[in-house]
Amino acid sequence: MRVRSVKRSRRERTWTHLPPLLRLLILTQLAFNVGFFAVLPFLAEHLGAAIGMAGWLVGLVLGLRTFSQQGLFVVGGALTDRYGVRPVVLTGCLLRIAGFAWLGYAQQTWSVIGAVLLIGFAAALFSPAVESEVARQAVLWEEAGQGPRTRVLALLTVAGQAGAFLGPLLGALLLSVDFRTVCLAGAGVFVLVLAGHLWLLPQRIPGRERIRVRGGVGDMLRNRRFLAVCCAYGAYLLAYNQLYLALPEEVERTAGSQAPLAWLFALSSLLVVATQLPVTHWAASRLDQRRSMAAGLVLISVGFAVVAVARPAALTGFAGLLPAAAFVVLLTVGQMLVAPAARAWVPDLTREGRLGLYTGALSSVSGLIVLVGSAATGSLLDAGLPPSVPWLALAAIPLLAVALLPGRTRVPGPSAG
């Protein structure tokens, strides 16, 4: 009982000791995801059933949204370095409001695509701005002796997962009216975020100098250590993407439908919300960023291996779902080790004043890996191979990523930008 109270007080102390700017940015991540996930889970059904798009066209629209978001993170990061956090975040909020309102009324293919691209590009603006400033502030928090930077970045992850959990509940509630109401509610969330940031977000953040000259991309592309971290992070994201690709196929086989998927997704989100901070505290006291990422990747690999070992038995029903549940748990725990560590490592690998660019590039490079890797994974799953082979191949990817991780070397604080 005493241990539990100590852990609770430690979490509360971390939050209350954060500067107001950090608390605002972390709550921003929560609000972003509530608004976004109120709409996204219901988009494919709306495009197919209400608008009548063919399946391939629905897939194309969803792919364009991902590209306009993940692929352009590097643009949002570079703009943040050049113009500062406030204008980029506010512009992103305005574009997201316009995109959601447009989507609610879009009925033709070209109109839907335009709205979806606008929604994705909005996130490519505000997400790198928020994430890079949280990372910079986390470094300053650590240098002030307040605790490991990963603890702050873990709060960002928790806020994002909480939003991803609450958003679909809001969307499902409003879907009883219609999809347009869901879109307008999502836009309403961003109206509130915009108003809050107009009031609370400082015009100029102390210590953050804007970069007046262009460039930086060439140096980044020559930064082998940073690119190695990007590739390892991309391997983790490719593994995480199997929640939407390989796992549904396995659940369909064992349960006869994909109904249990909702419970497995809820299990993943609740695990992050409930245990991310204790896991991060444990890792911060024992592991540096490299070892934390390596441990997480190994756990993810074990999750795939569990399904691969169980697959030849062709179990069905409740027993057949147990390996899938074990995979979700191990993948989620691996995520809790990898994601905060990767974000915490980026400031040590960044050229001075370029933290936004590098934070955006982490998502863009890893997003490209997921795009290519997902196509290869889909082909692997459809190739008619023995049932264990695709899962064993997926288990090998995180292990290969461990070998890519560079040695852990701290760079002096000014490089945080």
User: pLDDT tens string for the chain (417 positions)?
Assistant: 444 444 454 555 667 778 888 888 999 989 888 888 888 777 777 877 788 877 667 767 766 777 778 778 888 888 888 888 899 999 999 999 999 999 999 888 889 889 988 998 998 998 888 988 888 888 888 888 888 888 888 888 888 888 888 888 888 788 778 889 989 999 999 999 899 888 888 877 766 666 655 667 788 888 999 999 999 999 998 898 787 778 878 888 888 876 787 788 888 888 888 888 888 888 888 888 899 999 999 999 999 999 999 988 877 777 888 999 999 999 999 999 999 899 889 988 887 778 888 988 888 888 888 777 877 777 787 777 888 898 999 999 999 999 999 875 444 333 333
364 contacts 71 by C-beta, under 8 angstroms: yes
> Tell me, what amino acid is at 81?
D
Say what the alpha-carbon torsion angle 174, 180, 181, 184 is, to the nearest 10 degrees. 120
Q: What per-residue confidence (pLDDT) applies to 211?
A: 62
d(CA 54, CA 57): 5
Q: What per-residue confidence (pLDDT) applies to 192?
A: 92
**Shortest CA distance to 337 belongs to which of 301, 294, 274, 286?**
294
Q: What per-residue confidence (pLDDT) applies to 417?
A: 38
Q: What per-residue confidence (pLDDT) applies to 411?
A: 41
**349 is written with which tokens?**
């690998």
Q: What per-residue confidence (pLDDT) applies to 102?
A: 95
242 contacts 302 by C-beta, under 8 angstroms: no
d(CA 335, CA 239): 10
d(CA 374, CA 234): 11
Q: What per-residue confidence (pLDDT) applies to 232?
A: 95
Q: What separation in angstroms does the CA of 325 have from each of 217, 234, 247, 306, 330?
A: 41, 23, 10, 10, 9
Give backbone dihedrals phi and psi of 209, rounded to 5 degrees, phi first: -95, 135
Give the number of other CB atoms < 10 A from CB of residue 308: 21
d(CA 304, CA 201): 43
Q: Quick one: DSSP state of residue 68?
A: I
- Sign of the Cα torsion 51, 55, 57, 62 reads positive
pTM confidence score: 0.77
Could you give the 3-state DSSP secondary structure of residue 202? coil
Q: What per-residue confidence (pLDDT) applies to 325?
A: 93
129 contacts 76 by C-beta, under 8 angstroms: yes
